[in-house]
Amino acid sequence: MKKNNRIINVSVIAGLIIVVLSFMTVAKAVTFATAIGTTCLGLNTSVHMNDAADAYSRSGYSNPNRLMDPSYILLVSNLAAEVQYFASHGNYDNIRFERSGINLYEDYQMGNVEFIGTNNVNLWQNTLLVTYGACCTAGVDGAFQYDSITYETALRGAEVAVGFTEDICQDCFDWWSYRYNCHLADGYGVLESVQYANSFSYEHNSVKSVQIVHHGNDNIKITVHSWCCWLR
């Protein structure tokens, strides 16, 4: 994805800060989880979004948000969630949906797609886990990169951020994501859930190119209650 004509809109940033601060205040009293998917550019990740949201519900989060291709403001408001899952197109420096996305460092606009920059505000101060289910969100060619949105997400406050260092096959990711989220819902930690999903055979093993960035505990648990999750 080529990036041209970077635009930093001061009025948008000011409005964004007000929205984020409002939602972060609410988040201190009410915890919630969100799962976001896309149908842009020929990719449909609604199954991944629903699998993740179902797992969060089993984990004890009441009515997790299920969003397909959210607007810029709706995406920003959901960055206050305690647990976040994104399944879409990505690279080491961005993840994008039809109308919005997250960009490394600065705000950025490409056509009708508005990206929130990781430098904008500390968005993830109340966040336990962010999972970027997209290609190369933690690095490229199998190598982890510090200048990646996965690393920056943890740096900006998320306790644990999960990304991939290679391109991932959608069919393989269908199963990897389902197993990973189910294991989380069954009461296991992030590292255990990654290891569990990676223990299966896939047609393309690039789906196992997972990178976990954390603040000392890579195996935090997100469950409020332990539920049984059957593999389909």
Q: 52-92 pLDDT, tens per residue?
A: 999 999 999 999 999 999 999 999 999 999 999 999 999 99
pTM of the model: 0.84
- DSSP state, residue 23: H
Helix, strand or coil for residue 115? strand
Confidence at 121, pLDDT banded by 50, 70, 90? low
**Cα 225 from Cα 50, distance rounded (Å):** 19
**Roughly what angle, to the nearest 10 degrees, separates helices 170-185 and 190-198?**
140
Q: Where are the alpha helices (DSSP H) in the chain?
A: 10-29, 46-58, 72-77, 149-155, 170-185, 190-198
Closest listed residue to residue 65, CA positions, set 43, 82, 88: 82
Statement: residue 16 has pLDDT above 80: no
pLDDT, residue 125, reads 87
pLDDT tens, residue by residue, 137-148? 999 999 999 999
**Cα 55 from Cα 47, distance rounded (Å):** 12
pLDDT, residue 226, reads 41
Confidence at 122, pLDDT banded by 50, 70, 90? confident
pLDDT, residue 201, reads 96
- CB within 8 A of 69, min separation 6: which ones? 37, 38, 39, 40, 97, 98, 99, 100
pLDDT, residue 120, reads 82
pLDDT tens, residue by residue, 187-205? 999 999 999 999 999 999 9
The chain-wide mean pLDDT, for the chain, equals 86
Statement: residue 20 has pLDDT above 90: no
